[in-house]
């Protein structure tokens, strides 16, 4: 994660890519879910901590929603991004036009392309090809390494079955 973030430049594209990496890692969500997060999904909780509202997911087809805790670091990246693109509503992640102005939204298929580009820039050839699923796997393994119980990892990653969570952790 840090090696990928390190190859992001200080320009608008670099900020976007650092945000994508942090958002994907902390939320542990699928590409389509990451691309659907909106600025108004960032919530400040009564205890002063922050969360993202996941409105709907593959495992929540009825859209009951779920709050996902996020770091102050991610909140700061979102604020920087919002200020940079001069937007206060709509989706957080967006694609670029040739002149580097932003479009309405980022297509989920573009996430893998961005990740592979960053992987090549970081010269991370020995870890296999990364993709949107790497957010699930990397964050889950890091949580397991920190001693977080499987039940909490499952809750955070949105897995209902131990078998599914263990399959990700084995990979």
For the record, the structure tokens of 151 come out as 């039940």
The number of beta carbons lying within 10 Å of the beta carbon of residue 96 is 15
Q: In this structure, is residue 136 part of a structural domain?
A: no
Q: In this structure, is residue 42 part of a structural domain?
A: yes
* DSSP structure string for the chain: -HHHHHT--SSHHHHHHHHHHHHHHHHT--HHHHHH-BGGGEEE-TTS-EEEEE--BTTBTT---EEEEE-HHHHHHHHHHHHHHT--SSBS---B-TTS-B-S---HHHHHHHHHHHHHHTT--TT----THHHHHHHHHHHHHTT--HHHHHHHHT---HHHHHHHHH-
Q: Provide the CATH number for the domain around residue 86.
A: 1.10.443.10
What's the CA dihedral at 126, 11, 32, 124 to 10 degrees?
A: 0
Q: In this structure, is residue 123 part of a structural domain?
A: yes
Q: In this structure, is residue 156 part of a structural domain?
A: no
Q: What is the mean pLDDT of the segment spanning 47-61? A: 87
pLDDT class of 19 with cuts at 50, 70, 90? very high
Q: What is the pLDDT of residues 67-103, one digit of tens each?
A: 999 999 999 999 999 999 999 899 999 999 988 889 8
Q: Of the ranges 40-49, 81-90, 121-130, which one carries the lowest mean pLDDT score?
A: 121-130
Residues 6+ apart with CB under 8 A from 92: 19, 23, 37, 38, 39, 41, 78, 81, 82
Q: In this structure, is residue 55 part of a structural domain?
A: yes
Higher pLDDT pick, 125 / 25: 25
Q: In this structure, is residue 83 part of a structural domain?
A: yes
Range(s) of the domain holding residue 56: 2-131
- Res. 171: pLDDT tops 80: no
**Among residues of the chain, what percentage have pLDDT more than 90?**
65
Query: pTM of this prediction?
Result: 0.90
The pLDDT of residue 116 is 94
Q: In this structure, is residue 157 part of a structural domain?
A: no
The pLDDT of residue 131 is 84
- Res. 64: pLDDT tops 90: no
Q: In this structure, is residue 160 part of a structural domain?
A: no
Mean residue pLDDT across the chain: 91
Looking at the structure of the chain, the number of domains it has is 1
């Amino acid at each position: 994660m840090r090696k990928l973030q390190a190859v992001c430049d200080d320009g608008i594209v670099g900020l976007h890519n650092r945000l994508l990496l942090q958002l994907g890692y902390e939320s542990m969500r699928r590409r389509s879910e990451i691309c659907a997060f909106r600025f108004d999904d960032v919530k400040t909780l009564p205890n002063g901590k922050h969360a993202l509202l996941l409105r709907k997911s593959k495992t929540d087809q009825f859209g009951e929603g779920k709050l996902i805790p996020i770091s102050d670091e991610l909140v700061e990246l979102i604020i920087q991004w919002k200020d940079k693109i001069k937007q206060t509503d709509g989706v957080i992640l967006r694609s670029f036009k040739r002149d580097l102005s932003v479009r309405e939204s980022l297509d989920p298929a573009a996430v893998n392309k961005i990740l592979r580009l960053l992987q090549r820039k970081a010269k991370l050839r020995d870890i296999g090809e990364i993709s949107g699923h790497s957010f699930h796997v990397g964050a889950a393994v890091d949580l397991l390494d920190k001693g977080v119980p499987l039940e909490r990892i499952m809750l955070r990653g949105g897995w209902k079955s131990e078998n599914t969570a263990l399959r990700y952790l084995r990979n």
